[in-house]
Amino acid sequence: MALSKHDKVAQQIARREKTEYNKGPGADIQTPRRAIEVEKPETIGDAARQLQGYKKPVYVVPTDPKAIPDAVNHYKNTTIGVMKPSGKIVKPSTRGR
């Protein structure tokens, strides 16, 4: 069975962060330094719920790079940061600083 774009992006980010992709509840990728949630463009707003309760920096990664401006706009007045699918930070998280 082929992997979904969400799973591919999550696995790519997890490898970059030297950790495992968590398919269960909570953030998709968790490291000692940050929590990362991968979302499809139509579910970007759902990431806030998944990242609730984390005291460390948190990030949303849209699976489609075209959705990055929407994600930045959606989370502009929050502590949630935005990352490109490549792992580059576009909007830094201000949570847990």
Is 58 contained in some domain? yes
Total tally of structural domains belonging to the chain: 1
Is 97 contained in some domain? no
pTM confidence score: 0.93
CA–CA distance, 67 with 42 (Å, rounded to integer): 9
Q: Can you give the residue range of the structural domain that contains 40?
A: 5-91
CA–CA distance, 25 with 27 (Å, rounded to integer): 7
E strand or H helix that includes residue 82: strand 81-83
Is 51 contained in some domain? yes
pLDDT in tens, the chain (97 residues): 678 999 999 999 999 999 999 988 889 999 999 999 999 999 999 999 999 999 999 999 999 999 999 999 999 999 999 999 999 999 999 998 6
Is 72 contained in some domain? yes
Is 86 contained in some domain? yes
